[in-house]
Chain A
Amino acid sequence: MNAQAPVPAKPSGAQSAVRFVLPIIVFAAGLAVWELVVRIREIPPYVLPAPSAIFLTLIKDWAVLSQSLAATLLTTLEGFVAASIGGIALALLFNQSKWVEYSLFPYAVVLQVTPVIAIAPLLLIYLEQQTAVVVCAFIVAFFPVLSNTTLGLNSVDRNLAGLFQLYGASKPQTLRFLKLPAALPYILGGLRIAGGLSLIGAVVAEIAAGTAGAGSGLAYRIAESGYRLNIPRMFAALLLLSLAGIVIYGVLALISHLVLRRWHESALGKEN
């Protein structure tokens, strides 16, 4: 397909700059239109706050919101770490023993397909609130880690596996020097999905906990502000959640790139 492009490609620097600048222009234009519509039609802030009002709320309420942000991020991190360790460990266990895989895999699927919003109220009854919230984040995030790691461990080149066998590699050696490196791109892909999902799990659980009357995370702030018709604060909290999601994805994508850049196709330039 590359061969069909006779026109010399634009310098990739300029192209990436355009890719970076265009969404920003769209974003700025959208904000401007939003601001104008709110001002011209004099829409009250409890119906639709202007971007400027949201920004002012963000600064004014920073003390409350930043605390909530920290609480949500901590929950997300705990859920993510638990999902990463749990997912990778379970995949390794599955890889060592087919019996374990056949016995447990269906339950992993059940856990994955049951909506977490439906499980959260039950967990909140049986577990301490903070634990329940972390468990929700874990449930949502761990399946992609498990299934990606399993896929990666099973994707080892057959001839390389034969080579390890030929030279009498032990099971731990094969795992460490062959299976784990071969699975690494898949594992990192799973972690990238899990990062965003653990935020979603944390938010869902916080909303469920919020309706139970307690909480401190950003999602709880959103629910609480909704009851009080404090719409600008709802928007401000939502903005922070989005930013947190973007940062989480960006950090994980960067880690993945740095780890794989020397050898994996996904991290190499297209010209290579």
Chain B
Amino acid sequence: MSSAKPSSTVEASLTALAVSLRGVTKVYDTGVMALGPLDLAVRKGEFISLLGPSGCGKSTALRLIAGLSQASSGTVRVSRHEGEVQIGHIRQGHGIGFVFQEPTLMPWSSVRENVRLPLKLGGIAKAEGRARADAALASVGLADFADAFPRELSGGMKMRVSLARALVTDPDILLMDEPFAALDEITRFRLNNDLLALWRSLGKTVIFVTHSVFESVYLSQRVVVMTARPGRIQADIRIETVEPRGEEFRTSAAYSDYCRRVSAALAPSYSGQSTL
């Protein structure tokens, strides 16, 4: 799969980049090398998936992009409203929304207050914050649940709240760390469709970490397959199909063909190695 990287580098020079990683590595305090060296370029408005075996560092890569963790070497560049800046030198977060694997809601606050949190921390007035939180909730179909408490919601609804919270600051980049992994398949399919609809209407850059081949192919324009730890790029596969995608894509021959290709790219990381 050596053809993948040069082509994305060419594109990188033609169109604006949202995120670029150059030679990024992450070594934990224990001496374990978790990631890299990793080179990755994500165009503005692109929907890409990072796919790989557990422990390959895909979540670590996401945390590096979010600035929640610092790279051991290499550069992480994230483009924002103000232009390109180095992570760590400015107050973070306003250009980035993050959705964790768990809903990560504050159980002591109502749904509306949970969604308003990023605005509250950013010093935005309460009335405006509430209005924007309600709008974000409406965009994920939860307008009627603003006053509920997280424990009163189902797993899928909690995940929607988490998504609304990530969208409330109107970020350019949405980072999602296996957000639907804990949900049942039917709920996951519905959320996949809703996420695609949101992505089309809002035009955000989405970096989606998953360990599901099917989910990655269904959602993204590009599937970046990573190797086992330390994670590097194994393959970079472009998914081209008729847009907008819908349920008919999920059952099409093209879809199963892409799934086969992605699975084949993933195979070296689970066959022949006994580390996991």
Contacts and interface: CB of A to CB of B under 8 A. Distances in A.
A181 interface: yes
B98 A263 contact: no
Interface stretch (A41-49, A125-133, A157-165): A157-165
Interface string A182-214: 101000000000000000000000000000000
A264 interface: yes
B93 A166 contact: yes
Interface in A119-173: 157, 159-160, 162-169, 173
A263 B96 CA distance: 29
B102 interface: yes
Interface in B102-119: 102, 104, 106-109, 117-118
Nearest to B96: A166
Contacts of A177: 106, 117, 120-121
B200 interface: no
A162 B68 contact: yes
B68 A166 contact: yes
Contact of A169 (B94, B107, B121): B121
Nearest to B100: A159
A200 to B, nearest CB: 32
B81 interface: no
B118 A167 contact: yes
Contact of A165 (B68, B104, B149): B68
A54 to B, nearest CB: 46
A167 B104 contact: no
B67 interface: yes
B163 to A, nearest CB: 13
Interface residues on chain A, size class? 20 to 34
A61 B108 CA distance: 49
A263 B108 contact: yes
A125 B39 CA distance: 73
B92 interface: yes
Given A168-B93, A262-B149, A160 B104 contact: yes
Given A168-B91, A168-B122, A272-B151, A181 B104 contact: no
Chain B interface SS verdict (over half): loop
A263 B93 contact: no
A260 B94 CA distance: 32
Question: Which of A167, A168, A263 is the most central at the interface, judged by chain B CB atoms within 10 Å of its CB?
Answer: A167
B162 to A, nearest CB: 10
Contacts of B169: 167
A264 B151 CA distance: 9
Contacts of A268: 151
A162 B98 CA distance: 10
B66 interface: yes
Interface string A222-260: 000000000000000000000000000000000000000
A12 B106 CA distance: 30
A264 B98 contact: no
Contact of A166 (B67, B108, B151): B67
A181 B110 CA distance: 13
A53 interface: no
Contact of B104 (A159, A169, A264): A159
B130 to A, nearest CB: 16
Given A166-B68, A168-B93, A173-B121, A181 B106 contact: yes
A164 B63 CA distance: 14
A202 to B, nearest CB: 33
A167 B122 contact: yes
Contacts of A160: 104, 106
Contacts of A163: 98, 100, 104, 117
Interface of A: 157, 159-160, 162-169, 173, 177-178, 181-182, 184, 262-264, 268, 272
A-B interface, 5 closest residue pairs, ranked by CB to CB distance from nearest: A167-B93, A168-B91, A159-B104, A167-B121, A166-B93
